Each structure stands twice: as structure tokens, then as C-alpha cells.
Amino acid sequence: MTNEQAHQLPLSPEALAALGGGKIAYVKPISLDDVKRLFPQAQAPELDPGTKLFALHGADGTPIVITDSRESAVANAWSHELEPVSVH
């Protein structure tokens, strides 16, 4: 298997969670529809459809927090001793 082929293999949730020793989280912009999908049990506040939101996820994709600013998501990562990285 070539190095390029190895990079194309999907990682398991366990392998993703182990990235960075379990200390990496990612920040990405999300929509209001994403909030409803990620947190179906939560009562989503009434927000304008164009409201910019940001999610902090564990390396395995587990949602940690939703906020209205990237800075707040990064601060939350640091408070949980996680290294935030951006995803576009």
C-alpha cells in the first residue's frame, strides 16, 4: 500500500478520537439546521436563519458546544484542555 492510498482510507471513530492523544477538537461554522440535527433533544432558540453559529466537536465528531462566535468555541476548547483546529 502506498502512502497516498493509506491517506485515502477512512478512519474509524476510535482512530479519530485518538488523534492528538485525544486532545484535539475542531471548530466549524454551522447552520441553524445543523443545530437541530446535532441536538435534536434541545430546544433551539428562535434565531434568524442567517445567524452565524460555530460548533466545537471532539476529534471523533462528538458535538461539545454550539456558540455564536468562533472565539467562544476556541475558548471552550481551551477550558477543556483541548487543542482547537478549524474545519471549513
- Each residue's pLDDT tens digit in the chain (88 positions)? 455 555 566 767 676 666 656 688 999 998 887 887 877 776 666 777 778 889 998 887 888 888 989 999 999 999 989 988 877 6
53 phi, psi to nearest 5 deg: -130, 155
Pairing, β 24-30 against β 53-58 = antiparallel
pLDDT value of position 7: 56
Q: Is residue 4 part of a domain?
A: no
Q: Is residue 44 part of a domain?
A: yes
The pTM assigned to this predicted structure is: 0.69
Q: Which residues, other chains included, contact 82 with Cβ-Cβ below 8 Å and sequence gap of 6+? A: 23, 24, 25, 56, 58
Number of domains in the chain: 1
Nine-digit cell string for 36: 437541530
pLDDT value of position 18: 65
Q: Is residue 32 part of a domain?
A: yes
Domain of residue 43, residue span: 20-86
pLDDT value of position 21: 62
